[in-house]
Structure 1
């Protein structure tokens, strides 16, 4: 507290209190945790892409559905597709559960087909059912290094290459 007072004497500033919103992220702070979510942004996306009243789905991607650059469906509106994908990628800031799906649909930014568009809209339908999800950081919880890795073993129909990835987190964040 003494540091804050010294800073206010030294520099012209105003204390606005606890953080509530920052770049589209909402923060809920309690004595025990900080919870970040993008519920308002997600609702805006659903409204923008005419999915406000859509039926939600349990998973962001359909099981065993494979996407390729060339499928037999018609071309989709590339501009609209890019808007959806870009919006999904921004939403991953507090929704790591859609990272794989958002990254998958981002592979087809050039020349997307109707099948690609259906897949991107399915991710939005998943968002509809999980609007309250976000990341919670617990106070006093010991920071832990956690690593994940995965490979899809030749699932790319375009080049038959495996997509391997890894992710590490250091902290006390819990997705819920």
Structure 2
């Protein structure tokens, strides 16, 4: 029996590519523009024949057994994200841009050897950059003619990330997001701390008493995971506390509070992308050996720089138990190499 895979989602740019996109614009000193598509999922064209029950309050008189045939997608339909991206992709490619094979959420076009336009889409949020201002204006008008599009001008705020631009470069930070987390947990006026985690403390599964509100723990750790988009210094400690989502204890909660006290010390901390007159890609990787006290697995860490700007990083526990420190290091190198190959394809 043959099985077919049906894609029901709209491709979204990886956060590492969002940073790569911004870093390249800063290195080339290109302007960044933002567009927003209104009611994006209502623009999709359905490829299948789909019917729905008549909505409550709207039933044809004497014809209660009838159903509605859908001609367009709408919110709540499983096919809507795919239908929207398919329509958007066709419109952009009809303009003359090509879709990137390494990341389908990225489109690019070269009008001449030294003139280019790049577009990145995240569901209905669009960022455009390049050095061909005339072509960018034509692209905006092309999108205006096909969709209800709002021109937000220069990029300032994207996916909860603040993106101020200046002559020095592009800064990405999540100050407001970090302050909202501190306010939610009542730590706005707490005493800050210099390190996010006690290096001498090893957290285990059955450590201390159970935490009384596991849902609160999961929600808070989930928000901290999103904060790591612009805070590589939080990747390792957040990765550790995220291992205890299912059954958190008091000690695990105290470790989360310590991370928040560290964030309180500088909630506006972020990354600066600037033109250092280089586009060289450099990566560093490392690994401990049997560092986890629970399953004796090692932890991989790597970071990738583009022209001296940090664009990608990860702290992740390895999937198997390394039998030597050399094996742990090689596994770390393999993971970093995979990221480098993907970035090379993008570039």
Please give the TM-score of this superposition, normalised by the length of structure 1.
0.90
Distance in structure 2 (CA, Å) of the matches to 1:141 and 1:109: 44
- CA distance 1:150–1:174, shift in 2 (3 Å): closer
Matches for 1:20-59 after TM superposition, within 5 Å: 20-59=156-195
CA contact (8 A) 2:303 2:310 kept: no
Equivalence for 2:137: 5
Which of 1 and 2 has greater Rg? 2
Equivalence for 2:247: 111
CA contact (8 A) 2:172 2:270 kept: yes
Matches for 1:52-71 after TM superposition, within 5 Å: 52-71=188-207
- Return the offset for 1:4: 2.2
For structure 2, the residue ranges without an aligned partner over 5 or more in a row are: 1-132, 312-347
CA contact (8 A) 1:57 1:126 kept: yes
Distance in structure 1 (CA, Å) of the matches to 2:243 and 2:231: 19
Equivalence for 2:279: 143
1:76-100 per-position Cα deviation (integer Å, ceiling 9, x unaligned): 1211111111011000011011000
Query: Are residue 133 (structure 1) and residue 269 (structure 2) matched?
Result: yes
Equivalence for 1:75: 210
CA contact (8 A) 2:276 2:307 kept: no
Matched residue of 2:244: which SS?
coil
Query: Are residue 101 (structure 1) and residue 234 (structure 2) matched?
Result: no
- CA distance 1:18–1:9, shift in 2 (3 Å): closer
- CA distance 1:159–1:8, shift in 2 (3 Å): closer
Bigger CA drift: 153-162 or 94-103? 153-162
Matched residue of 1:17: which SS?
strand
Aligned residues: 174
- Return the offset for 1:2: 1.1
Please give the TM-score of this superposition, normalised by the length of structure 2.
0.47
Equivalence for 1:89: 225
Distance in structure 2 (CA, Å) of the matches to 1:8 and 1:148: 39
- Return the offset for 1:141: 3.4
Matched residue of 2:271: which SS?
strand
- Return the offset for 1:174: 4.9
**Structure with the greater relative contact order (CA < 8 A, sep ≥ 6): 1 or 2?**
1
- Return the offset for 1:133: 0.8
CA contact (8 A) 1:37 1:94 kept: yes
